[in-house]
Structure 1
Amino acid sequence: MADYGYPDGGGEEEDMQWPPAPPAYGYPDDDGGGERPPFVLIDPRAYFADRKNATTAVIDMEAGAPNLRGRLQVTFCAVAPPLVSYFCVHASHMDRTEFPVAPSILATETDGGLALLRVATVDPVYPPDHVRPENCQYFVYDALARKLHQLPQPGFQHRLSEPSLAIMRKPNKSSQNTSKHVSLRPHVHGEAEAEAEADFVVAAQSYIFWGKESPHICIYDSAIKTWSNKPVVMGSSYPERHLPSKTLTIGGSNGTVAWVDLWYNIVLCDVLAKCPKLRYLKLPTEPCDGGINPRSLRDIAVFGNTIKYVAILHHPDTSRWVATAWSIKKGRRSWPKEWHMECQLDSTHIKVDAAGRVATFPTLSSLFVGLPTLSLQNDAIVYFLAKIDFSPRQRTAWVLAVDMKNETAEQVVEFPAERTYCVAKGYDASRISAYLQPAPGTQQMPK
């Protein structure tokens, strides 16, 4: 099998030597600042650019933060899929060479308008592309309030695992009494500002979590503006192997988080409970060998009371592949046998229209296809990244929107792949676009 991306990335940071300009689309506001897409495919790595639109938020960086100075500006440029949305970062008193890697989105609220960002700065003692935890600062972008919040540096006593980071708004008392699934929805502008003041929580597994006798999670609570550690109960049937590759916030009064090892299993944790106890759910497919990054072949998402999962299986020594979509009702006790196969797609059957013509552009038989990404509109659409080869220097790529049930490529758009290594990274699906504030003078109606 060809190399479909390894967990360590390998070459991902080369873009910092020649940072490309952001795409021309999506700026300043393709839709005039009005209604936003219900979800987006968004590149998690920022572009360095001084762009401003209705989403722009700024913050004066704290003087005590290592090597950070001046004002930080964040702007989102949202477009409907399959075009890939992006965001821009500008530091008023810093040069881009002072950042070893591009600022990045580490987590977004599953059903809300919060995004957790990481900004790393160069340490003069280390190579310019080296990222040290001590030099990483975390910011929360609140789309409802159009504000940035700088979190205190976690420090060594709260050293955390970044792939397991999750963010959610804290449920208020009324929501605890009326609903087990808490999610804010876009409102008219005035109501959105009021709800945006709700406190939030950031949670993650500790850096060394599995295999410890007394594991704990690291939690930041915006109400008290501090980090803390909370012990968790592993239970007697915890998995032998679990390496988080994607995190989902399910929410509810206990603040349930799902840590997903896309090869093996889901670990559920009620991070707001006084004594969180972990629960486990095995995925319906078998893992692959070779240390491949699982995101290049698999994806998972939450839709209300349902969890959906998609996996690609490549046939040996051929370009043919099969994608299978599964679903399961989420609950406190879900069993692996409850996974339901919804549909299966053979790449050799993909058509470009209802008339049944087989897809020839791009020629799937000559491309490397991966990064399956579930549509967040709860339909049968899955997005795939297709590249001519894996090299970061190869800038020709496409995003395909494929209807799994009808076996039809609904749309194909070009993708700016200068910064993409293999097909394991490039974009993630997020609902944050539905919460981005409209331009002044326009009104965004509830969805």
Structure 2
Amino acid sequence: MDDYGKEKDMQWPPAPPAYGYPDDDGGGKRPPFVLIDPKAYFADRKNATTAFCDMKAPKLKGRLQVTFCAVAPPLVSYFCVHATHMDHTEFAVSPFIVATETDGGLVLLCVVAGKRPTDAQLLRNRQYFVYDACDCQLYHLPHPGPQHEINGFSLAIMREPNKGTGTCNLHPHGQAEFGHFVVAAQARFFWGKESPQLCIYHSATKTWSKKPVVIDSSREKHSTTKTFTIGGPKGTVAWVDLWRNIIFCDVLAERPKLSYLNLPPALRPRPNMGAGDARSHRNIAVLGNTIKYVEMLPHPDRSSSKPASHRWEVAAWSIQKANRSWPKDWHTECNLDSTHIKVDSGTTAAALPTLSTLHVGLPTVSLQNDAIIYFLAKIDYRQSEHTAWVLAVDMQTKTVTQVAEFCAERTLGLALGYNASSISAYLQTAPGTQRIPKRPGVPLMKCPSKKQSKDARDHKEDDAMVIFSS
């Protein structure tokens, strides 16, 4: 056990996890929300969610196939892509999820053909696809073109509301009465322009268009890192700078005007505030009429102790989504210090990592309106091949309620790995199945790859349990 967590032998590209396919060994009701890996796996997998469409773009040929494998958290769900006339070497990066509808069945995907990862940085190489879980359809959008250069970080997708009611009347596993959708984004050069513009795609017309936006003269500093949709008759989009604020924009209004909402004060101001990827320690989500925000504050032990101790604090706030400009309305829901997390001292094993020795980040709010926050825990945040876990922490009871192993071969650091999404509630299920998948807990549910170290193969599942002590 002395070399537990050392790097495993890898294949590239990695094979998708064995769990969640095919349809959880027979199908069943989908979990109400998932933690989903935004990067696709290259695999020819098919189940009830599989959708196809022809690819018509330079360097893309044949048909694209997309399949979702949804499992209950803390296991991480994933999706697979397969191109009939291309292999993985012809893609600059793995196809990835750009955005999901906040409370609906739409997924916006980006596919980039090319020989180098840097090819993905060029807008002309990016092709966008929309997966509609409600009717299991995949659509290839026309390229925005140089006249609609977009800021990829600001992309959002939503159903276009009914003209009469302002709602889309969409239900899980049912058709929308008004099935058209809208994709919206800031123009590439949005801030600092006298007349900033939105780029909007309407599925009804299958065209991109531009629309001017009104920016208040007292605008604040903002750099979008996350997007979610409020929807409604004006098609409200929220652009989030996880270091600073939220900007709301009614993208379907004739003359959209921006409104600002500052995030709660930081747990502790830091000299490097605004540097690095905020997703390592901050996240936000919308649940019904409430916006929930969570922040972590690491307290690294800079002493010479070995192994190093990694204490951290976490706090969660909420605000009614109708309160778009009153930061004083943020309400503190709970606070937690990692040293207060309850453990069973009788199960401690010195050879295994403990909570205090793991690098922890990527706090993710549960979408079931409970006190659970999910965290990514890694033995070494700098390395992608080491063993990693997803922890479900109950902020009220101060306990780690569930643990699942996470295949971290494709993640570097603690800012990426999965996003919370309600897409699973809309995914098609296999005919004649009603079973609800059992939620995994401790001991770990394994995430095997085709190539593993001899040490990993020799250990039984019970030996792979992490002891979460502080």
The question of a shared fold, defined as TM-score above 0.5 by the shorter chain, is answered with yes
* SS of equivalent to 1:402: strand
Please say if 1:134 is aligned against 2:130. Answer: no
Is 2:105 the counterpart of 1:95? no
1:282 alignment counterpart: 262
Aligned to 2:40: 46
Contact 2:169/2:176 (CA < 8 Å) preserved in 1? no
Q: Does structure 1 residue 200 correspond to structure 2 residue 176?
A: no
Contact 1:49 1:88 in 2 (8 A): yes
Which residue pairs with 1:13 in the alignment? none
1:299 aligns with 2:290: no
Q: Equivalent residue of 1:320, what SS?
A: strand
Among 229, 232, 239, which residue is 1:252 paired with? 232
Cα distance between partner residues in 1 of 2:349 and 2:15: 32
CA distance in 1, matches of 2:125, 2:339: 48
**For residue 354 of structure 2, what is the aligned residue in structure 1?**
363
How far off its partner does 1:138 sit?
A: 0.2
| CA drift at 1:73 | 0.1
Q: Any conservation in 1 of the 2:380–2:386 contact (CA below 8 Å)?
A: no
Q: Pick closer, same or farther for the CA change 1:257–1:362 going to 2, 3 Å.
A: farther
How far apart are residue 151 of structure 1 and its match? 0.4
Conservation of the 8 A alpha-carbon contact between 2:97 and 2:110: yes
Q: Does the CA contact (< 8 Å) of 1:388 and 1:394 recur in 2?
A: no
- 1:394 is aligned to 385
1:232 to 199, 213, 222: 213
What is the aligned residue count? Answer: 414
**How far has the Cα of 1:442 moved from its partner?**
4.3
Look up the equivalent residue of 1:272 and give its one-letter code: L
2:322 aligned with 1:320, yes or no?
Answer: no
Secondary structure of residue in 2 paired with 1:302: strand
**Contact residue 201 and residue 222 of structure 1 kept, 8 A:** yes
Q: Which amino acid aligns with 2:429?
A: P
Once residues 427 and 319 of structure 2 are traced to their aligned partners in structure 1, the CA distance between those partners, rounded to angstroms, is 30
How much does 1:173 deviate? 2.8
What residue in structure 1 maps to residue 162 of structure 2?
172
Q: Which residue pairs with 1:271 in the alignment?
A: 251
1:306 maps to a residue whose letter is T
Secondary structure of the structure 1 residue equivalent to 2:310 = coil
Q: Which runs of 5+ in 1 are unaligned?
A: 1-15
Deviation at 1:305, TM superposition (A): 1.2
- Measured in 1, the distance between the counterparts of 2:216 and 2:263 equals 19
Which range is displaced more, 277-286 or 344-353?
344-353
Q: Aligned to 1:195, what secondary structure does the other structure show? A: coil
5 Å matches for 1:333-344? 333-344=324-335
Matched, 1:122 2:103: no
2:109 maps to amino acid = L
Identity, in percent, stands at 67
CA contact (8 A) 2:161 2:178 kept: no
Deviation at 1:390, TM superposition (A): 2.0
Contact 1:359 1:409 in 2 (8 A): no
- Write the distance in 1 (CA, Å) between the matches of 2:216 and 2:201: 24
Q: 1:265 to 1:393 in 2, by over 3 A?
A: closer
User: What amino acid sits opposite 2:16 in the alignment?
Assistant: P
Seen in structure 2, the aligned counterparts of structure 1 residues 268 and 222 have a Cα distance that, compared at 3 Å, is same
Amino acid at match of 1:60: D
Supply the distance in 2 between the matched residues of 1:133 and 1:17 (Cα, whole angstroms).
30
Please, what TM-score do these two structures have when normalized by structure 1?
0.88
Shift of 1:351: 1.7
- Structure-2 separation of matches of 1:437 and 1:197: 19
Structure 1 residue 196: Cα displacement: 7.3
Contact 2:200/2:210 (CA < 8 Å) preserved in 1?
Answer: yes
List per-residue Cα deviations over 1:197-247 (Å, max 9, x = no partner): 6000000111111111110111000000000111000012211x2111110
User: Are the counterparts in 2 of residues 392 and 419 from structure 1 also a CA contact under 8 Å?
Assistant: no
Assess if the C-alpha contact under 8 Å between 2:131 and 2:137 holds in 1. Answer: yes
Q: Give the whole-Å Cα distance in 1 for the aligned partners of 2:233 and 2:341.
A: 43
Structure 1 residues 39 and 362, CA gap change in structure 2 (3 angstroms): farther
Partner of 1:223: 204
Paired residue for 2:22? 28
- 1:246-286: CA deviations, max 9, x gaps? 10101000000000000100000000000000000000033
Contact 1:112 1:183 in 2 (8 A): no
Once residues 224 and 342 of structure 1 are traced to their aligned partners in structure 2, the CA distance between those partners, rounded to angstroms, is 44
Q: What's the RMSD between the two structures over aligned residues?
A: 2.3
Determine whether 1:155 maps to 2:148. no
Q: Work out the CA distance in 2 between the residues paired with 1:135 and 1:17.
A: 27
Q: 1:359 to 1:373 in 2, by over 3 A?
A: farther
Alpha-carbon distance in structure 1 between the residues aligned to 2:408 and 2:326: 39
Instruction: Indicate if the aligned counterparts of 1:110 and 1:430 stay in contact, CA closer than 8 A.
Output: yes
Cα distance change, pair 109–333 in 1 and its aligned pair in 2 (3 A): closer
The match for 1:380 is 371
For 1:273, what is the secondary structure of its paired residue? coil
Distance 2:32 2:230 in 1: 18
Q: Which amino acid aligns with 1:130?
A: D
Does residue 1:421 correspond to 2:412, yes or no? yes
Letter in 1 for 2:244: Y
SS in structure 1 of the partner of residue 339 of structure 2: helix
2:24 counterpart SS class = coil
CA drift at 1:59 = 0.6
The 3 A distance-change label for structure 1 pair 68 and 285 is: same
Q: 1:129 offset after TM fit, Å?
A: 4.5
Change beyond 3 A, Cα 1:77–1:53: same
Q: Give 1:330 shift.
A: 1.5
> How far 1:75 moved relative to its partner?
0.2
